[in-house]
Amino acid sequence: MLGVFEKQYVNCYSCELGYQLIDTLIELIQGPCKDNQRTLVTSKVIDNCRDLISQGGAERELKIKGFVGDKLELLDGLKQKAVKLLLSIIEGPIDSEIMRAITISLDDFIVVFERIDYVFKKFVTENLNLDPEQITLDDI
């Protein structure tokens, strides 16, 4: 499982293992398999995904963990997989217990909105060669 101590162990060398672990969890709950989805929810995997998605930030912290240059994309890939795991948890018919647990853990989805904002700005900058601060809703 992702583990309670993912904050201490997430670095550029542990990402490949993290990819494999998250992919395995996704496979176990897709279908969907409600029993496995509930098991993950009660095992705090949502909290671990939230913490993983919020990793990074300060350049110094990233550098200490080895996320420099092309290795920075390893962390982004791990975050993408964590989001995919969260989406897999809510796959299928609505389960109010699962939705409640996700809402409580993600603290009104602040972490998710911050991640969406980061991905949007990166896409606009790298793919469209635009300044994301200059884009308005009318442009979209």
pLDDT in tens, 59-115: 888 888 888 888 888 988 999 999 999 999 999 888 888 888 888 887 766 767 777
Task: Give me the phi and psi of 14, to 5 degrees please.
Answer: -100, -5
- The domains of the chain are located at 6-105, 108-140
Task: Give me the phi and psi of 50, to 5 degrees please.
Answer: -60, -50
Q: How far is CA 69 from the centre of its chain?
A: 20
pLDDT band (50, 70, 90) for residue 8: low
End-to-end, the C-alpha distance of the chain in Å comes to: 39
- Backbone torsion region of residue 67, taken as left when φ is above 0, otherwise alpha when ψ lies between -120 and 50, otherwise beta: beta
Whether the model clears a pTM of 0.75, i.e. scores above it, the answer is no
